[in-house]
Structure 1
Amino acid sequence: MAQMGTLTCGATCPVLAYLSDERTLREHQQISLQSFRRKASEPAVIKLSDYSPAVTPKKTHRFCNAENMSSEAGPGPFSRTPPDLDASSMYSLRSVFPRPTTRLHDDEVGGTTERLLRPRYLCMLDDSTETGFRVVSANDDIELLSVQYIFVSYTRRHFYTQMAGDTSLSDIERERRRASAERDAAALIKISIDAAKSANTTAFWIDFECVQPDSPEHADASRSMQDVYRICDVVRAARSMVIVVGPPINEQFEHVESDFSSSAQLSWLRQWGDRLWTLPEALLCPRDHGVMLWYAGANQHKTQVVEKRNLPPYVWDDAATVGQLIDHYEGSIQLTQLELLVIALNSLQRRQTVARMHADAIYALMGLMRERVLVRKDDSAFQAFARLSLANDSDRPLERLYCLKPPTHTASWHTLQDAWGAKLWDITPECQISEVCDDDAVILGNLYGAHIDWAPLSSIDFIFDTSRSNVRLWRFCHGVACAVPAFFMLTQAIATLDLIIWQIITSAGPPMDSTDTLGLLLTFQWGFIAGILLLCYVTSILIPPLIITFYNGDVEQTQARLCGFQGMPDLPSVERTLFGRCRGRLEWSSHSLSEAAEDGIELYTIVDTVTMKAHVFRARTRPDVLMVCGRQGGLLRTLLCSYDIEECRFHREAVLRMETKILQRMSRMDLCRVSLTPRERYADEIVV
C-alpha cells in the first residue's frame, strides 16, 4: 500500500492526507465501473462506521444506533459490531498551522471607522468675498453646529470638476478639459448659492470644495480618502438635497445644440440615477423638505421640488427595487438587515461608475450600514464585503452566501442568486466564519464534513431490517443450518450401530422368533433414518430461497460512504457491487438540479450509502470533501469542495441539497480556509 504523507498548510487551514507519490495519487483517484471489485466473503460479519472523516478523529466513531440494538439477537446481521478502524483513518484531513494567514479584520488592517456626525467642511455664504462663499471648518466654530446646509448632488457625466488625481484621462485630454472644468465648477457654485438662498439656509456642501483632495502634499490624505466614502453621512445631516443635472459633457465638447425639452430633462435625470454614488445619496437624504431638481441648460434653467418617494419611476430603471429601499428609509416599510443588504447590493451592482477601487460598490453599500470598515485600496470586492458583513454580522449574510448555488458556473458571487430560487434569508447557517483571508477566502469552522471516496468501488457492510419477523426468520434459518448437520451425523451413527448389532446376532444363530423381532426393530430404525434424510433434503432445498429472501430485504443501516464517479454510472451495477445483489435500493436524488452543459465543466455523481441517493452535479474540478454549511426548505445545503495542495485552500465547486440524516454519521471539521472561486482543473488530472 502506498505510503501516506501529510502536507502542511497556512494558518487555520486543513490539509488532505494525500499520497506522497504523484503517480500513485493519480492512480488512486482514477475510477471506472469496469474496475469494480467485490470482496470474496459474504457481508455476514458486519463492521459499520461513520463517513470517512474530514478531520483526524479524536476518538473512534461507533455506529450511531449501535447501543440501541438488541444484544439477544445472537450472531448474524443483528449483533453489535465493532467500529471500522480503517474507515476512520483513510482519507483524513489534518489541521496544522505552520505559517500565518493575514487576518483582514484585525484593527491594524481592516477595523471599523466611526460615522461622520457633521461634515468636516462647509461652504458658508459670504457676499463680501469675490466668489460669494468661503470654506470653513465645521469643527472649529461651535456656532456652526446649528447651521443648516443643503447637499448638492451631481454627476461628472454632466459637470466635469475633477482635474487633479484623475488618472482616467491622458495629459492631452486633461488639458483639453481644463477650461471646461473651471467653467462647470463655477456654474455649480452659482447654482449651489442660489439653491441655498432659495432654501433659506446659509451654507451648502459640495464635494470638490468640502472634501480635501487626495494628494501626497496634504497631511491628512488618508483621512480625506475615508471622507470620500463617508459622504452618505453628510447627506444624512443635511437639511435637504439638490440634484443638479444638465447636458452630457461630450455634447458640450462636440458643440451639439442643447435640447431643453421635457424628454431631455428626463434623460438627464436617468443619467444621474445610473451612477453608483447617487443612489445612496437619494436614499439617505432627508424627506422633510423634498428634493429640489435643478435642470441647468446652456442658456436657461428650471427648478422643481418633488417628494423623495416619487423619484423612482422617473430616475431609475429598476424603480420597483429602489422604491423598496426608499420606502424603508422613509419608514413606510421595514426591511430586515439581511433584506436591506441583498436588495441594496443588487441595485448598486446595476449602477455605473469610474472605479477608484475594485470594491467601490461595496463601499457605496457601506454607507447604508450601521458599522463602517476602513477603506483599503488593495481590497477586492469580496474582501470588502466579507469585512463589512462581519462588522454588521447580525444575520450572518456571509455564511448564507456560501450556501447559494450560482445559476451558472461563471456567475459572480455578488449576484446573490440561487439556482433553486432561494433567497439569502431562506437559508439557516450551520457553520461560522471567524476570519477573512487575503486571498478572497474565509476561515470556516464548526461545520460537519466528510471525504468523498474516488477509489475503485468495493462492497460495504450493512445491517438488515431488525423487525421481529426478520429476526425470527434469521433464527429459524440459523437453527436449521445448525440442526441439519447434527441430524445427519446422528442417522449415520444409528445406521452404523444397527449394522454392527445385526452382524453379531446373525453370527451367533439366534432363535427364529428373536430374529423376527430384531428385523422389525431394524426396519423401524431404517425408516426413521430415511425420514431424517428426507427432512434434510427438503430443508436443504428450502433454506437457500429463505436466505436469499432475507438478504433481499430492506437495509436498515449501512456503512457510511460517499462514492464519487465521473459521469452518470449504472445504478444497478453500483448496487450490485455495494450489496451483492440489485434490489432497487439506490435511487437518483430528486433534489438534484438539471444543469446545462458548459465548456470545461464536467458531469459527476456522488452516491450516498446512508440515504441511498445518487446526486448528479456539474463542476470544473472533481471535489474532494463535502461540507454541510446550511439548511433550507427542510434539506441541508452542502458544499462540494476541491483542495488546492499548493495554496492549502478549499474551493467551492458545487452545491447539493441532501437529507438531514447524514449529519448523524458525520464528524465536525476544524477551521479550514474556503474560497468561493472554483479551482482550475489540472492539465494532468485524468478521470477514466
Structure 2
Amino acid sequence: MATTDSPRKDPDSHRGVSLEHGNSQSISAPPEPAKKQETSWWPWSKAGKLSKVEENLKKQFSGKPGFKQFRRVYRPALPAGSGHPDPEPGSSAAQSAGEDGDDKGTVVKGPDGKYIYVNQFHQQSHKFDDVAVYLSPTNFVPKRLVVQASDRVLDSRDELEKGDWIRSQLAGDVPVVLKVAEWALGPLQRGNALSKLDCAWRVLLVAIPIQVMLAIPGVSDWEEDEVTDTYTDFPGYYWSWPKYAVNYLDMAPSAKQKEKAAEQQKDMFAATLDVRRRAQRPRRLIKKTDHGWVEVDGIAEASLKYIFISYEWSQFKDEGGGNSNNRARRLAEKIAERERCAAFWMDEGLVSKASPADTDYDVYTMCDVIRGASRVAIMLGADTLEARRSWGDRMWTLPEGLLAPGDSLLVCREGDGGQLVLEQIHKTEMTATFWGAADDNGHDSTEGGSATRVLAEHFSGLLSLSRLELLPAAIAALDSKKRNEFTGSDLAYAVMGLLHYRIQRRDADSLFQNLARLSLGNDSDQLVERMLCLLPKAHSQVADSGVAVPVDSSVFEELAGRDEYDTYVHHITPLCQVVGVAEEDETVIIDNCRAMHIRWKGFPRPVVHRSHGFKKTLAAFCIASGLWWLTFSFETAVNYVPYWSGLVENVRLSLIIWVLAAFLLLSLLLSAPSPFSVRRLFGGTVLKSKPSLVAFEGVLPIAELEKLVFGNCTGRLTYAPSATPFARDWRAPRERVGTEPAWVGDPKVPLPALPSPNHHLFTLVDMGELAVCVFAAERPPTVALLCGREGGMLRAVLCSWRFETDCLYRETVPEQGAGAFLMLLKGV
C-alpha cells in the first residue's frame, strides 16, 4: 500500500473507476502520494482574489470546528508545506470515453472547477474536489464524508491534522425515554448505600414523566419494527471500457476496430512472429557440417537433434573485459559433440536483431526452444560455488533450468588443458547450490519449501502443482532473482514462459496489468479474484536513521506466501468475478459482487426482534396500570370532585381529598418501577437484528459503545475473535469470542503499532451479527465488498471511494464468521 503525508490524490493521475453492469466494481491500491509544490496552497490570482476552487478548499481545509447539518464538526487541516495537487480550474480529471469527444459517463472538470459525476441513472451532479466523499446509497450522488470519532481522536491534535475527512462526535439514536430511565438507574452501578438513595429520588422524580412520554404516540415507541433481510448497497456504476476484458465483446469499439485492421494487415511471415503461438522449432540453429559449425535454418532442419546451451556472459570475458565469444562457442561445440547432438542453440548470434518483432519472438519463444531440446547444458567459467550462484541468481536462467527436459541438467566447464568436464545435476539439487534456496543451517527457509524448490520438484515430476499454485510460485521465485529491467515488465514476460498461454509485449502496460492479463488468460481458478481477498503482511526495512520504513511491494509478489491471517491464496473461494483490467494501474473490474455501504455519520436506531417473556409482559402491565391510575386520578379531581362537593352534603371534603391522595399514591407506586419497566421493554435477548455496517474513527470500550447504540449495556455486543490482526492476541481461552484489548479501555496504555504512519485505527460494528472489530486503514472505507470465503469465514474487502476518479480503493480485508452475513447472502 502506498503511503502519503497528504491522503489527497492528484485528479490527473487516475488509477481506477467504479462500477460496470450495475454491480461490478474496480478495485485499486491506495493512491500514490500527491506531489508537493513550491507555491502556496492558496495562491492569490492576478486580480487579487481567490478563485472558487481556492475559496472552497480554504473553507473545507480550515482545520477549525464548525457546523454541518446542525452538527458540530471538525474540519481537516492540510499538513504544513503541502500544496494542493491541482489548483488550476478547467483541467480534465479523466479522459473522454470516446474519440469523438463524448464525455458521457466520465468524471470531468468543468471551467468552474467543479467535477461532473454521472451515476447509473444518467443523473449529473456537480462537486468540488476537496475532502473525502462517499456515494450516497439513497440519492446516488457524491456527498462529503462526515466520520464520527471517539473523544480520544478529537482530543488529539495530531490525529485531527491527519486525513482529509470531516469528523464529528459519536452519535447514537437512543429513545429519550430510555435515556431518562438509564439516568435514573445509573447510581445503582456504584453499589453503595448512598447510590441507592440517589437512585430512589431519581426514580420518583422521573416516574410520572416516563409515563407521560410513553403515552405520546410515536415519541418513545418500544414496539419492535419488522426485521428484513436488506442492506444498503453501493450504487456505483462503471462507464469506461476496460483496457483488457475477459469477454472480447466488452472491449472498446475503437480498440476492436484497430486490432481487427492490424490483423488484416499482417502477412504470413508476420503471423509467425506472434509469441502467443508455440514455436515448433528454433528459427536458427548451429549445425556441424563437413565445413565446421555453421548457422542453419532450424525450421527446415526439422529432424535435427539439438542441445540448448545456457550460460552467463560475464563468466566468459576475455582479458580486456569484453565477452570472449570464441571461448563460449568452442565450449558449446565440445558439449554438442560429447552429447552426440548434431546442433546446438545459444542466444549469442541466434537471437535476431533484425527488428523488434524478431527479437521479441526469439526471446519470448525461448521456452519452446528449451522444451524441444534434447538436453540443457549449463556452461560455467569456473568450478566454484560463486560461479554457480552467479548463474542461478539471474531471472532469465531460472526458466532455462526448470523447463529442461527430464529431471536433470548438464553442468559443463573447461578443465586443465582445455578438456571438457561434465557433471549431471538434478533440478532439486540445484536449489541448494545454483538457486541458493537453503539458509545458513542447511534447512529450507520457507514453510512448505521455497518457491524455487517447489517449482524444481514440480518440473522434475516429483510434485504436482495445481494451476492455482503454479503461477504464485513462479512469480515469487522469479521475483527473488536479479534482473536488468528492459521493459518494466520483465517479470511478467519471464513468468509467461512457464505457462500455457502467452501474451504479446506492450511497452505501455505496467507490470500489474501484464501479470493480471497473463493470469486471466491462463487461469480458470480465479487467481485474481482470490488475490483481492488477501491481506498482505506489512513489510518494512530499517533506514539509516534506525527507523523502520514501510516497503511497498506488488500485490502479485505476495501470492506465494501466507497473508496476515496465515492463509494461502488457494484457501480462498471467490464470491465475485474479475471481468477485465482497467486502464489505470493496479486496477481490475469485478462483477457479481455483493457490496454493502458503511455508515459513518452516526449509529441508527437498532431494528431488532427480541424475545417476549413474562417479565416483559409484566413490565408492560405496570406501565399501563400506572398510567391508567394516574389518568383516573386527574380525571376524578377535575370532573367529579367539584360535583360531589357541591351536591352531596353528607360527604366531607377531607374525605374526598384522602381518596384522591390514595389514587395518586397508588398511581405513583405503580409508576415507580417505570424506569425498570422501560429497561425491560427496550431490552431482552436479541433474536434477530437488521444487518448494517456502522463505523467510527478510533476505539471505545465495548460497554460504552453498547450504551451509545442500545442505551444500556447487557452484553449484546461482542468482539469478533478473528476479524482483524488486532484480535489475534485478544481472544478468550475457552469460548470462541474476542476480548477487549487493554489499549481500548485504558488511555494510558499505548496503541498498537500500525502498518504505516499514515494509518488510523477504526472500529466497525456489524449490526446484523452484533460484532465489533478494530482495523487499521489509511482512509475511512465506505464500501464493503463480499469477495471471498475461507475456512468458514467471509472476506469483506473494505474500500474507500474517490469522487474525482470514480474508483474504489482497497483499504483492508477483515474476515468474519459466515453467520455475520448469512442474511445478506440469501437468494444469491
In the superposition, the TM-score normalised over structure 2's length comes to: 0.61
Matched, 1:641 2:802: no
Offset, 1:150: 0.6
2:486 pairs, out of 356, 370, 379, with 356
Segment of structure 1 superposing worse, 330-339 or 16-25: 16-25
8 Å CA contact retained: 2:278, 2:368: yes
Offset, 1:484: 3.7
SS in 2 for 1:373: coil
Residue 410 of structure 1 aligns with an amino acid whose one-letter code is V
> For residue 294 of structure 2, what is the aligned residue in structure 1?
134
Offset, 1:590: 2.7
8 Å CA contact retained: 1:43, 1:462: no
1:434 pairs, out of 555, 561, 579, with 579
Distance in 1 between residues matched to 2:404 and 2:176, nearest whole Å: 76
Distance in 2 between residues matched to 1:626 and 1:16, nearest whole Å: 22
Offset, 1:451: 2.5
For residues 84 and 193 of structure 1, do their structure 2 counterparts lie closer, same or farther at Cα, with a shift above 3 Å needed?
A: closer
8 Å CA contact retained: 2:689, 2:769: no
> For residue 89 of structure 2, what is the aligned residue in structure 1?
none
Q: Structure 1, unaligned stretches of length 5 or more?
A: 45-74, 162-174, 248-263, 507-517, 669-688
RMSD: 4.0
2:326 pairs, out of 166, 186, 195, with 186
Distance in 1 between residues matched to 2:487 and 2:293, nearest whole Å: 33
1:612 pairs, out of 767, 770, 780, with 770
Distance in 2 between residues matched to 1:191 and 1:114, nearest whole Å: 32
For residues 557 and 500 of structure 1, do their structure 2 counterparts lie closer, same or farther at Cα, with a shift above 3 Å needed?
A: farther
> For residue 445 of structure 1, what is the aligned residue in structure 2?
591
Distance in 1 between residues matched to 2:797 and 2:296, nearest whole Å: 55
1:287 pairs, out of 406, 427, 441, with 406
Correspondences of 1:332-371 after superposition (within 5 Å): 332-371=462-501
SS in 2 for 1:367: helix
Residue 312 of structure 2 aligns with an amino acid whose one-letter code is T
1:145 pairs, out of 291, 302, 306, with 302
Offset, 1:342: 1.9
SS in 2 for 1:119: coil
8 Å CA contact retained: 1:13, 1:95: no
Distance in 2 between residues matched to 1:469 and 1:160, nearest whole Å: 94
8 Å CA contact retained: 1:112, 1:373: yes
Distance in 2 between residues matched to 1:328 and 1:23, nearest whole Å: 53
SS in 2 for 1:94: coil
Distance in 1 between residues matched to 2:370 and 2:174, nearest whole Å: 77
Offset, 1:622: 2.9
Q: What whole-Å deviation, never above 9, does each CA across 1:601-656 have from its counterpart, x for those lacking one?
A: 33222233223333222222332322221112222212222223333222212221
8 Å CA contact retained: 2:311, 2:378: yes
8 Å CA contact retained: 2:370, 2:404: yes
Offset, 1:343: 1.9
1:601 pairs, out of 738, 741, 759, with 759
Correspondences of 1:216-615 after superposition (within 5 Å): 218=355, 221-247=356-382, 264-287=383-406, 290-296=408-414, 300=418, 301-318=420-437, 320-321=449-450, 322-408=452-538, 410-412=551-553, 413=555, 414-416=557-559, 417=561, 418-440=563-585, 441-455=587-601, 457-469=602-614, 472-473=617-618, 476-477=621-622, 479-480=624-625, 483-484=628-629, 488=633, 502-503=648-649, 535-591=666-722, 592-594=724-726, 596-597=753-754, 598-615=756-773
Q: What whole-Å deviation, never above 9, does each CA across 1:95-151 have from its counterpart, x for those lacking one?
A: 152x544337668499981222322222211131xxx22222232x3xx32221111
Distance in 1 between residues matched to 2:580 and 2:106, nearest whole Å: 11
Residue 103 of structure 1 aligns with an amino acid whose one-letter code is Y
Distance in 2 between residues matched to 1:545 and 1:16, nearest whole Å: 53
Distance in 2 between residues matched to 1:543 and 1:619, nearest whole Å: 45
Segment of structure 1 superposing worse, 462-471 or 279-288: 462-471
8 Å CA contact retained: 2:610, 2:685: yes
For residues 78 and 38 of structure 1, do their structure 2 counterparts lie closer, same or farther at Cα, with a shift above 3 Å needed?
A: closer
8 Å CA contact retained: 1:430, 1:628: yes
> For residue 236 of structure 2, what is the aligned residue in structure 1?
94
Matched, 1:660 2:818: yes
Distance in 2 between residues matched to 1:316 and 1:550, nearest whole Å: 70
SS in 1 for 2:471: helix
8 Å CA contact retained: 1:122, 1:137: yes
Offset, 1:453: 2.6
Segment of structure 1 superposing worse, 400-409 or 549-558: 549-558
8 Å CA contact retained: 2:228, 2:690: no
Offset, 1:420: 1.7
SS in 2 for 1:332: coil
Q: What whole-Å deviation, never above 9, does each CA across 1:510-550 have from its counterpart, x for those lacking one?
A: xxxxxxxx99xx99x99998876665343212343122233
SS in 1 for 2:481: coil
In the superposition, the TM-score normalised over structure 1's length comes to: 0.72
> For residue 313 of structure 2, what is the aligned residue in structure 1?
156
8 Å CA contact retained: 1:462, 1:555: no
Kindly, what percent of the aligned residue pairs are identical?
27
8 Å CA contact retained: 1:16, 1:93: no
Distance in 2 between residues matched to 1:569 and 1:9, nearest whole Å: 44
> For residue 515 of structure 1, what is the aligned residue in structure 2?
none
SS in 2 for 1:334: coil
Residue 654 of structure 1 aligns with an amino acid whose one-letter code is T
Richer in helix (by share): 1
For residues 496 and 425 of structure 1, do their structure 2 counterparts lie closer, same or farther at Cα, with a shift above 3 Å needed?
A: same
Q: What whole-Å deviation, never above 9, does each CA across 1:454-504 have from its counterpart, x for those lacking one?
A: 32x25423225134446644653565366445654786677777667743x
Residue 347 of structure 2 aligns with an amino acid whose one-letter code is D
For residues 640 and 40 of structure 1, do their structure 2 counterparts lie closer, same or farther at Cα, with a shift above 3 Å needed?
A: closer
> For residue 29 of structure 1, what is the aligned residue in structure 2?
146
Offset, 1:239: 0.8
Segment of structure 1 superposing worse, 549-558 or 32-41: 32-41
> For residue 127 of structure 2, what is the aligned residue in structure 1?
20
Offset, 1:312: 2.7
